[in-house]
């Protein structure tokens, strides 16, 4: 039996806050996915979308990649939780260490949010300092310590996060070198944490050279540099955003691609820092290095190690970027289309049109994450053509 969108939304409204499980999934009108494969998802009403949400960026190899499915199938019958060490966790960590230069050791977590929490714990333990510097709009999951941003230029905690958090989390604008130096000069900063892509997976790119400045300033002040590679890790390059930026962070947070589309994350970094987890730092976690996630993560990373999927996704993304940009130009629509490797961002100058864009694109058969698109290695030229045509129709003035 297939439930209609309306039936499901009605039931959801009674048992899920706001009827959803994640704010980014609060589509209006609501829709429900029955099945996903490759670059597409099939909805419960039988219609199909070209998918660019790609598991919130987790699926560089597309939905249900045969190698990932086979690995998970094999593992699920062998047990989903051994409550003990298992061979896959060793292989998974070895694969990550082999791919990311700055990573000597890895500790697995159940999500990117947890990887961020662990990174700050390690940085504070290693330095004996309390303050963490982050940048406005840079997202590191939803834990208290990183849920601080600028509101009207003033540091502000997210709803439900104590104002006291501002005593140990300092938020700066990306590019504010003077503010950064002033904070580091207090001698209280344990770590500077940042999205190497700039905020929102490259929607707001970092000022040129800023990452190198962060590295130099942290070294000068004895603070650790933590890069958030939850989105960018293994997607933008085999060695992550840090390899494109040419910097060597002390700690790196991972999630998404490294977990192969299952729930997971990890912290990687310098051996002396990571070894604190073997001595003074406690980090229990029922689902650390879950075998099922490990099986999907290994299957994914082994394929990604060649760099071929990243290149394929980037090539398709370049075509799509050009196509969408051309549509804006031909229609005389003010806005911009830009790209970080396989992640495309779009902005329409007209605020109402911008706000409506994702919904209009869904009506035309294309699912974006907000107004961004995660292109996978399995999106095709036909997908690009369909997605360009979809934008063309989505921008047509309503009759
Ligand atoms: C840059 C970045 N860091 C951390 C996270 C948190 O990861 P998770 O959702 O797995 O907790 C996200 C999630 O989207 C992210 O985009």
59: CATH: 3.90.1150.10
Q: What is the pLDDT of residues 187-202, one digit of tens each?
A: 999 999 999 999 999 9
Residue to probe by mutation, ligand 1, list 58, 110, 140, most atoms within 8 Å of CB: 140
Count of domains forming the chain: 2
| 145 and 173 both lie in a single domain | yes
Domain limit, last residue, from 260, 275, 304 = 304
| 282 and 137 both lie in a single domain | yes
Nearest atom within ligand 1 for CA of residue 56: 14
Domain limit, last residue, from 237, 270, 304 = 304
| 157 and 76 both lie in a single domain | yes
Q: Which of 124, 358, 382 is nearest to 250 (CA)?
A: 124
229 belongs to a structural domain: yes
Q: What is the pLDDT of residues 173-192, one digit of tens each?
A: 999 999 999 999 999 999 99
Is the pLDDT at 249 greater than 60? The verdict is: yes
| 273 and 198 both lie in a single domain | yes
User: How far, in Å, is the centroid of ligand 1 from the Cα of 174?
Assistant: 19
Contact 259, 297 (CB under 8 A): yes
Is the pLDDT at 20 greater than 70? The verdict is: yes
CA distance 266 to 253: 6
Domain limit, last residue, from 304, 336, 368 = 304
| 237 and 335 both lie in a single domain | no
CA distance 200 to 223: 24
- CB of 139 within 6 A of ligand 1: the answer is yes
Using pLDDT thresholds of 50, 70 and 90, give the confidence band for residue 3.
Answer: confident
- CB of 293 within 6 A of ligand 1: the answer is no
User: How far, in Å, is the centroid of ligand 1 from the Cα of 114?
Assistant: 9
Nearest atom within ligand 1 for CA of residue 255: 10
Is the pLDDT at 300 greater than 80? The verdict is: yes
The predicted model gives 147-160 an average pLDDT of: 98
Give the residue carrying structure tokens 């040419």. Answer: 246
| 252 and 328 both lie in a single domain | no
128 belongs to a structural domain: yes
- CB of 135 within 6 A of ligand 1: the answer is no
Is the pLDDT at 250 greater than 70? The verdict is: yes
Is the pLDDT at 1 greater than 70? The verdict is: no
CA distance 92 to 108: 9
Domain that holds residue 320: 31-64+308-394
| 161 and 56 both lie in a single domain | no
| 251 and 349 both lie in a single domain | no
Q: What is the pLDDT of residues 72-131, one digit of tens each?
A: 999 999 999 999 999 999 999 999 999 999 999 999 999 999 999 999 999 999 999 999
pLDDT the model gives residue 2: 59
CA distance 336 to 325: 7
CA distance 89 to 15: 36
Nearest atom within ligand 1 for CA of residue 197: 1
């Amino acid at each position: 039996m297939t439930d209609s969108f309306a039936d499901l939304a009605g039931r959801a409204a009674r048992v899920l806050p706001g009827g959803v499980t994640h704010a980014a999934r609060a589509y209006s009108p609501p829709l429900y996915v029955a099945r996903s494969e490759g670059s597409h998802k099939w909805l419960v009403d039988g219609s199909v979308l070209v998918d660019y949400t790609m598991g919130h960026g987790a699926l560089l190899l597309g939905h249900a990649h045969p190698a990932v499915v086979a690995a998970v199938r094999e593992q699920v019958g062998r047990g989903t939780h051994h409550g003990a060490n298992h061979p896959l966790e060793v292989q998974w960590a070895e694969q990550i260490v082999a791919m990311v230069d700055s990573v000597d050791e890895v500790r697995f977590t159940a999500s990117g949010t947890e990887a961020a929490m662990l990174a700050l714990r390690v940085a504070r333990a290693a330095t004996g300092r309390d303050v963490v510097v982050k940048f406005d709009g840079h997202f590191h999951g939803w834990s208290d310590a990183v849920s601080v941003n600028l509101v009207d230029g003033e540091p502000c905690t997210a709803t439900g996060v104590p104002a006291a958090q501002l005593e140990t989390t300092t938020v700066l604008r990306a590019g504010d070198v003077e503010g950064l130096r002033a904070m580091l000069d207090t001698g209280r900063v344990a770590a500077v944490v940042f999205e190497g892509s700039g905020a929102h997976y490259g929607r707001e790119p970092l000022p040129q050279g800023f990452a190198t400045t962060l590295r130099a300033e942290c070294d000068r002040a004895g603070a650790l540099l933590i890069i958030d590679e939850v989105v960018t890790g293994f997607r933008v390059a085999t060695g992550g955003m840090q390899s494109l930026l040419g910097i060597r962070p002390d700690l790196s947070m991972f999630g998404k691609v490294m977990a192969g589309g299952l729930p997971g994350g990890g912290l990687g970094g310098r051996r002396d820092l990571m070894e604190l987890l073997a001595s003074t730092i406690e980090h229990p976690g029922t689902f650390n290095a879950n075998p099922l996630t490990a099986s999907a993560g290994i299957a994914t990373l082994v394929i990604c190690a060649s760099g071929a999927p990243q290149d394929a996704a980037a090539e398709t993304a370049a075509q799509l970027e050009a196509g969408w940009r051309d549509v804006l130009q031909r229609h005389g629509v003010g806005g911009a289309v830009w790209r970080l490797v396989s992640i495309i961002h779009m902005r329409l100058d007209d605020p109402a049109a911008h706000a409506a864009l994702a919904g209009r694109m869904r009506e035309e058969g294309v699912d974006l994450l907000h107004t961004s698109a995660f292109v996978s290695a399995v999106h095709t030229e036909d997908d690009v053509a369909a997605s360009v045509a979809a934008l063309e129709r989505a921008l047509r003035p309503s009759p």
